[in-house]
Structure 1
Amino acid sequence: MEEFRKKLRTKIILCRILAASLLIALIVLQVLVHRGVLRGETNMGFFVGGITVLIMNIMRMKKAVKDDAALKQWYVRNTDERTIAVQQKAGNFTSLLTLFLLCIAAIAASYINNTVYWTLGAAMGVYLLVYLGALAYYNKKM
């Protein structure tokens, strides 16, 4: 159980770093917009939402690290074989569906706007590379 507690502490640190990075990025973008370097608006909702979710997760993980009962419950939830299998099936289906929808959107966009077509094509290519890379990594790892 101590090993899992260490993993949670590491996740807390990573979440704090990510939240701080989002906050710094938001501040820098706001300054650049107000100085006129960037036009338009920043996506404040994205940044504030991301920071809020990260802070909520940090609080939940800190509670689990301090309380043995909560830690055990968190451990069971994260190591349950059925839950892991369901998440893997859902993730695989979602990945393939997303790739399929990107293909359909790219085909439709090719008739409407060339820039959107190439953007969707690039997104599809990056997504496919990441998917195939993860597939190769986990095939070698397991």
Structure 2
Amino acid sequence: MNLENYHEVLKKRERLYKSYISFALIFWGIGNFLLKDQARLNDSALGFIDGLTLGIEIICVFWVFRIRKALKDDKLLRELYIDEHDERKNFIKLKSGSNLIWKIALGIFVVSILASYFNMVVFYTLVITGIFLILVSLSLKLYWRKMV
């Protein structure tokens, strides 16, 4: 177990999450203040955009606090390392393809936000597709947890 290297990995991850937080705040600010009057969006699209941005913010802030706490305490750092490098969890993620599916779903949600400025039917279709992908990912994870 090489906790020194993992310590550096967590510092990089913390900077990445902080950049996500900054990007989401900038995206939210541009959408709510600069483009709100110019865009012809309905309330459901604006609510989805705000909800997705807030969700990204909450998840990233949670991980930043968790990483900061782990960097200060060696016991928590060791637990986080063991949890991240657990072979069974990694096998389940690999078999279910959850890492890739979540990235694709996030990409679909971002594209749906962009599509909401042009066509609401495409927006709804992409949102439903993203939600379906997340449900498929969760069901695959549950299936492989029972099988392994």
Q: Report TM bin, short chain.
A: 0.5 to 0.7
Shift of 1:5: 0.5
Instruction: Give the alignment's Cα RMSD to 1 decimal.
Output: 2.5
Query: Helix, strand or coil for the counterpart of 2:39?
Result: coil
Select the residue among 22, 27, 30 that pairs with 1:28: 30
CA distance in 1 between partners of 2:24 and 2:80 (Å): 26
Q: Does 1:39 align with 2:45?
A: no
CA distance in 2, matches of 1:39, 1:53: 29
C-alpha distance in structure 2 between counterparts of 1:25 and 1:81, whole Å = 37
Which of the residues 79, 89, 99 maps onto 1:83? 89
Please give the TM-score of this superposition, normalised by the length of structure 2. Answer: 0.59
Aligned residue in 2 for 1:18: 20
Greater RCO structure (CA 8 Å; 6+ sep): 2
1:60 aligns with 66
Partners of 1:87 and 1:23 lie apart in 2 by: 30
- One-letter code of the match for 1:39? R
- 5+ unaligned residues in a row in structure 1: which ranges? 99-114, 124-142
SS of residue in 2 equivalent to 1:38: coil
| SS of residue in 2 equivalent to 1:88 | helix
Q: Deviations over 1:37-73 (max 9, x none)?
A: 2122532111111101110111011111110000000
TM-score (norm. length: structure 1):
0.61
The Cα of 1:32 is off from its aligned counterpart by 2.4
Q: Which amino acid aligns with 2:87?
A: E
Q: Per-residue displacement from partner, 1:66-92 (whole Å, max 9, x unpaired)?
A: 100000000011112222111111217
Amino acid at match of 1:53: I
> Which residue in the other structure is 1:112 paired with?
none
Rg comparison, structure with higher value: 1
Secondary structure at the counterpart of residue 97 of structure 2: helix
Unmatched 5+ stretches in structure 2: 105-120, 130-148
Verify: 1:3 aligned to 2:5, yes or no: yes
